[in-house]
Structure 1
Amino acid sequence: MDFLLGAEDDEAPSRRRAPGSRTQQRRSRRRRKRQRRKGYVATLFALVIIVGVLGGAGYYGFNWVGDVMIPKDYTGEGTGEVVVEINEGATASDIAQMLEDAGVVASARAFVNAVGAAGKSSSLQPGQYAMRKGMSAAAALTLLDPKNRVLNRLTIREGLRLSKIYTELSTATGRPVSEFRKAAKEDLGLPSYAKGRLEGYAFPATYEISPKQTPKQTLAKMVERFTQTAERLDLDVRAKQLGFTPRQIMIIASIVQAESGSTQDMPKVARVIYNRLGHNPQMTLSMDSTVMYGLGKYGIAATHADLKSTSRYNTYKYLGLPPGPISNPGEHAIEAALKPADGNWLFFVTVDPKRGITKFTDSDTEHQRFVEELNRNTR
């Protein structure tokens, strides 16, 4: 019976621990469930983080690709007004960056693309343009038409012929040369001694030209500037004192302008012209510049074939002054015609055209030596 009692004794503790063991098991299961829930939450949280990171990267990556492939661009015609200036020699890229900096377009790339799509890279001209801020690139390109320029600053150089002036005005305004030729025949306010002919009276200076300005208004401005200069120089009175008309003075001034190598030579060239006109026995004026003008050619030396011209501008063939001015002289040349230097020179030769060196003499022999020197320098 003892072994039976021993068995009972042995089992008793086991039976007493059973309830405790089940509790521990339940606790253990609860711990494992909590750990599994924590792990699940941590995993879920990590997945959310990863998805967020990838989503953000994707979003910014998409935007970055979009910016590269499809540049930022405004829509519409913009608001307000801003004046931008395109400088001489500026490329489409230079202009695009300038427009972006001014707030006209959203991005330089959008404008460059618009220029390329329209094929207008060569039509972008220097000048000032009235633009608006926040414009689409296409709308901005439309406003950069040369006809829309706000103001052009154009310098007409001394001694240009009208034909050349028309070309420069056409380039600056976008209007055809024919319009300026036609306007030259209208009433421009020319002095009566011009006899309705503009050559000689389109005064060389710097002008502000508006795109809305008509060719007639532009040419009238040049005549007005001449009139102001003539009044300041007292042209009418001083011409009379020399025994010449204002028209003759302007013809002489135009020859002085064409023949002089420098402004310092102008009074001496003017004296040669006066000396030849008053020389006895009479001699022809013999100016190559007048011959070339009559032939519609350019150059400083007329050929033997040129000298056979029957034009009234051939001063080798006809005595006296040509029928009218051969260029549009500046103030220095007009002043030289009104106040020639003192001297007895009858000849002059620009022996070094590149450096503008001119020599004067009253000797035909020395004159021939000057001609030989010119031939050596230009050979």
Structure 2
Amino acid sequence: MSDLDLVLGADEDARARGRSRGRSRRRRRRRGRGRFLAPLLALVVLAGVLGGGGYYGYLWLSDVMVPDDFTGQGTGEVTVRIEEGQSATDVARVLEEQGVVASARAFTNAIDAAGKSGALQPGRYTLRERMSAQAAVALLTDPDNRHRGTVLVKEGWRLSQIIDALAEATGKPEAEFEAAARDAEALELPAAARGRLEGYAFPATYEFTPDMTAADILAAMVDRYRRAAEETSLEAEAERLGRTPHEIMTIASIVQAEAGRPQDMPKMARVIYNRLALKPPMKLQMDSTVFYGLNAYGIAATDKQTESRSKYNTYRYGGLPPGPIGNPGQAAIEAALHPAEGRWLWFVTTDPARRITEFTDKESEFWRLRTKFNKRNGG
């Protein structure tokens, strides 16, 4: 190889190294531009929001960073309803629409900061207009501020009457309660009930919330029955009497329907036991059972009504009816478990207006009392 070739080769190598260094410098410049491009674009966007975006851009940014919020506890009164399944964001929109909070964002920020997003429960709440988001959170997560309804289930009411009252109080369709009443498993009815709620929906005042289902409310009544059964030692006392708990509840329901005053209940229970104990047993002939079988109400059944073929007609059939004819209270259950001592076989409510009932163990006296009732009541 000549000296010229060596010189030319050296020059070519130098030029190649120069091209390589040039490409490296260009790549470094491109990478440098990439490092500064993102912040630059952010500044451009920010400038667009504050400048080119104008007033609406400013509102958007200020809402994200520092949302509008009222101060204080607010004024007036606003009823807010939280529906089943609503999120904190859904509730926030409702509050803003109703003028409770200044912005939905302020509320969601406040409830997130308090860690109470999961504490919101369905129901109706009383709040105020123009409240701070923090104050609104406090009221909406306070169980005592949730509206609760009550319904009074009276002693002796039939299940049909209870369902009417519950439907009116809750606004739920009667069909929902009727369907729930048939689901013995869901209600956890005791075995003694034989799958029927009648007699086991304990009378009391019950509290309910809008999120409770018909089954929830009826189940609360069954739970209350269990408590009464425990308090009266129902199973043990029934066994002592040679009766099943279901028979005791049936007797208690008749006593509840027939009695005008609590003090008469133990004597009425004794009349039932005395009739059943006779040899042969004497038919109960209770008007209350006849009316139940006919789905009717009254004080004294007519001769025609006592000819009914309903299994609840204790004028036609001997022994106890198939089950309770209503829902007895604790006093009636106690009377069925602890009847008074006596030989009575009849009783007549001779003065219904004053709830006076008279008892006797003589048939002749019974007819005299019956005549007394008829004269007083136009019979």
> Taking structure 1 as the reference length, what is the TM-score of the superposition?
0.63
| 2:162 match | 165
Alignment of 1:131 with 2:130, yes or no, is no
Q: Tell me what 2:7 maps to.
A: none
Q: Which position in structure 1 is the counterpart of 2:218?
A: 219
Q: Hey, what does 1:181 align to over in structure 2?
A: 178
Q: Distance in 1 between matches of 2:263 and 2:177?
A: 33
Task: Tell me the amino acid that sits aligned with residue 344 of structure 1.
Answer: R
CA offsets 1:255-308 (integer angstroms, 9 cap, x no match): 000011100000000000000111123211110000100000001111111011
Corresponding residue for residue 374 of structure 2: 375
- SS where residue 228 of structure 2 aligns? helix
**What letter is aligned with 1:225?**
R
Q: Rg: which structure is higher?
A: 1
Q: Which amino acid aligns with 1:276?
A: R
> Match of 2:172, as an amino acid?
R
CA deviation after TM superposition for structure 1 residue 354, in Å: 0.5
Does the Cα contact within 8 Å between 1:265 and 1:358 map onto a contact in 2?
A: yes
What SS does the corresponding residue of 2:195 show, helix, strand or coil?
A: coil
* TM alignment of 1:203-352, pairs within 5 A: 203-352=202-351
Distance 2:290 2:305 in 1: 7
* CA distance in 2 between partners of 1:303 and 1:266 (Å): 24
Given that 1:83 and 1:129 are in contact with CA atoms closer than 8 Å, whether structure 2 keeps it comes out as no
Report the Cα offset of residue 81 of structure 1.
Answer: 10
Q: Percent identity?
A: 54
- Asked whether the equivalents of residues 349 and 371 of structure 1 are also in contact (C-alpha less than 8 Å), the reply is yes
**Structure 2 Cα separation of the partners of residues 206 and 219 of structure 1:** 12
Aligned residues: 249
User: For structure 2, which runs of at least 5 residues remain unmatched after alignment?
Assistant: 1-72, 80-98, 101-122, 131-145
Q: Deviations over 1:316-367 (max 9, x none)?
A: 1111000010000000000000000000000000000010000000111110
Distance in 2, matches of 1:83 and 1:294, equals 49
Deviation at 1:132, TM superposition (A): 2.7
8 A contact 2:285–2:315 mirrored in 1: yes
**Partner Cα separation in structure 1 for residue 203 and residue 192 of structure 2:** 19
In the aligned structure 2, how far is the partner of 1:351 from the partner of 1:174? 40
Where does structure 1 lack aligned partners over 5 or more consecutive residues?
Answer: 1-77, 85-103, 106-127, 136-148
Q: 1:212 and 1:81 mapped to 2: Cα distance?
A: 26
What is the alpha-carbon distance in structure 2 between the residues aligned to residue 172 and residue 211 of structure 1?
A: 11
**Residue 223 (structure 1) shift:** 0.1
Amino acid at match of 1:176: P
Residue 150 of structure 2: aligned partner:
153
Runs of 4 or more consecutive aligned structure 1 residues displaced over 3 Å after TM superposition: 78-84
Alignment of 1:32-111 (within 5 A): none
Cα contact 1:249–1:334 (8 A) shared by 2: yes
